[in-house]
């Protein structure tokens, strides 16, 4: 009979063998299986070179310490995405940065800040993302996120070159009044990566459990997203989720950055078509403000609901529109987003 407490060599060898077997069964084998049997979703865009560089900046700046990228199968996580996250969501971001560094753990484990799985949909404005990095308090009054001022430079207006991204920062918020804030290449790359974070839809006609297992809560959540089934849409909820970051919860916007919706002439026009076109196609006709990105990823019902919400709140009073009108305009403004 082996006397382990005296035969130290055998004790160490047995412990080492147990460690290797457990590690192989619990971590190594499942990882290789996931790697070999996982692919991107059909409608998932390939990461561009700029977005890949932005991912490196995201990791280097420690964003994974405070933000997650995982939508769990629980009710509270429905805020962060249309369905629970699946392995395919991370297909293009799983590559190792280089031979010396491991694949970054983008899922994260700490939500000091909000989850970023679908932030490109919730806050897809480049202007907003830039201001948020420069000084989070400019766009989120009570944000505890630190400033990333080193990703920007303050220069004389004469030093601004073609292609530079300038920020709409008022004089009182500048470190050196009279200067102009421009984004560095690292800031541009990081913002490109942030805006690219959008959940791809599940393939139509395939059972959700093929991707996320058989749990009833997650299955129901994904099934709703895959089928496009919608209940009565709450325009106020859509506004809070997609629009309030720029136009602010009170609809008053941010001077020099994002226009006010409260009392706006365009919002109160009798004919809603101009507003429908702007939501579908985006708008950059106001040089004193940042451009508005297209919100064509929203359904016809969601766009109609949020337009009607804006046109009947914040002191506005204008006739409503409907999903059929949005559908007709979508075929003209954003035909590539028409649901077949």
Distance CA 2, CA 150 (A): 63
CA distance 60 to 74: 30
Comparing 22 with 285, which gets the higher pLDDT?
A: 22
Other CB atoms within a 10 A radius of the CB of residue 266 amount to: 14
Q: How far lies 333's CA from each of 146, 217, 329, in Å?
A: 39, 36, 6
Cα–Cα distance, 8 to 129 (Å, whole number)? 59
Which of these ranges, 170-184, 226-240, 241-255, has the smallest mean pLDDT? 226-240
Average pLDDT, the chain: 85
Mean pLDDT score, 245-269: 90
Compute the Cα dihedral for 117, 121, 127, 128 and give only its sign. negative
Check: CB of residue 291 under 8 Å from CB of residue 124: no
pLDDT band at residue 263 under the 50/70/90 scheme:
very high
CA angle at 119 for the pair 31 and 266, rounded to the nearest 5°? 160
Question: What average pLDDT score do residues 248-260 get?
Answer: 88
C-alpha to C-alpha distance for 252 and 242, rounded to whole angstroms: 15
The answer to whether 69 touches 199, Cβ cutoff 8 Å, is: no
Per DSSP, 6 falls in state T
pLDDT value at 314 more than 80? yes
| Residue of 116, 101, 103, 119 whose CA lies nearest to 63 | 116
Asked whether 83 and 222 are in contact (CB, 8 A), the reply is yes
d(CA 134, CA 182): 10
Structure tokens at 317: 């009073």
Q: DSSP letters along 198-243, please? A: -PPPPPTTS-THHHH-S-HHHHHHHHHHHHT---S--HHHHIIIII
What is the C-alpha separation between 70 and 205, in angstroms, rounded?
24
Q: pLDDT (tens digit, 9 = 90+) per residue, 148-188? A: 999 999 999 888 898 899 888 877 888 778 889 999 999 99
339, pLDDT greater than 70: no
CA distance 133 to 145: 9
Buried (b) or exposed (e) across 311-334, using 16+ Cβ within 10 A? bebbebebeebebebbbebbeebb
The domains of the chain, with CATH numbers, are 49-118+197-223 (no CATH), 121-193 (no CATH), 231-337 (1.10.760.10)
Mean pLDDT within 177-205:
90
H/E segment holding residue 54: helix 49-60
| pLDDT for residue 277 is more than 80 | yes
d(CA 123, CA 247) in angstroms, rounded, equals 11
Q: How far apart are CA 106 and CA 70, in angstroms?
A: 8
Mean pLDDT of 84-102: 81
Do residues 185 and 49 make contact, with C-beta atoms less than 8 angstroms apart?
A: no
Please tell me the predicted confidence (pLDDT) of residue 220: 40
Q: Which residues contact residue 2 at a Cβ distance below 8 angstroms, ignoring those fewer than 6 apart?
A: 10
């Amino acid at each position: 009979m082996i006397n382990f407490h005296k035969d130290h060599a055998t004790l160490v060898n047995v412990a080492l063998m147990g460690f290797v077997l457990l590690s192989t069964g619990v971590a190594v084998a499942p990882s290789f299986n996931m790697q070999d049997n996982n692919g991107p979703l059909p409608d998932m865009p390939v990461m561009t070179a700029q977005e890949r560089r932005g991912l490196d900046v995201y990791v280097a700046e420690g964003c994974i310490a405070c933000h997650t990228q995982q939508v769990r199968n629980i009710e509270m996580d429905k805020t962060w995405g249309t369905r629970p996250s699946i392995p395919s969501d991370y297909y293009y971001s799983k590559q190792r940065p280089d031979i010396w560094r491991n694949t970054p753990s983008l899922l994260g484990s700490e939500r000091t800040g909000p989850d970023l799985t679908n932030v490109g949909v919730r806050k897809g404005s480049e202007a907003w993302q830039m201001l948020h990095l420069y000084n989070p308090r400019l766009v989120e009054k009570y944000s505890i996120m630190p400033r990333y001022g080193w990703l920007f430079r303050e220069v004389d207006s004469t030093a601004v070159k073609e292609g530079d991204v300038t920020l709409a920062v008022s004089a009182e918020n500048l470190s050196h009044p009279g200067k102009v804030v421009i984004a560095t290449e690292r800031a541009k790359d990081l913002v490109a990566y942030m805006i690219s974070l959008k959940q791809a839809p599940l393939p139509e006609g395939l059972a959700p459990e093929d991707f996320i297992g058989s749990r009833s809560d997650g299955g129901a959540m994904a099934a709703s997203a895959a089928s496009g089934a919608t209940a009565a849409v709450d325009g106020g909820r859509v506004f809070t989720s997609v629009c309030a970051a720029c136009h602010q919860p009170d609809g008053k916007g941010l001077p020099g950055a994002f226009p006010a919706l409260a009392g706006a002439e365009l919002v109160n026009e009798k004919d809603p078509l101009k507003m429908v076109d702007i939501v579908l196609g985006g708008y950059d006709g106001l040089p004193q403000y940042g451009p508005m990105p297209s919100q064509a990823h929203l359904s016809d019902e969601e766009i109609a609901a949020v337009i009607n919400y804006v046109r009947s709140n914040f002191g506005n009073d204008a006739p409503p529109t409907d999903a059929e009108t949005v559908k007709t305009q979508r075929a003209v403004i954003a035909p590539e987003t028409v649901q077949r």
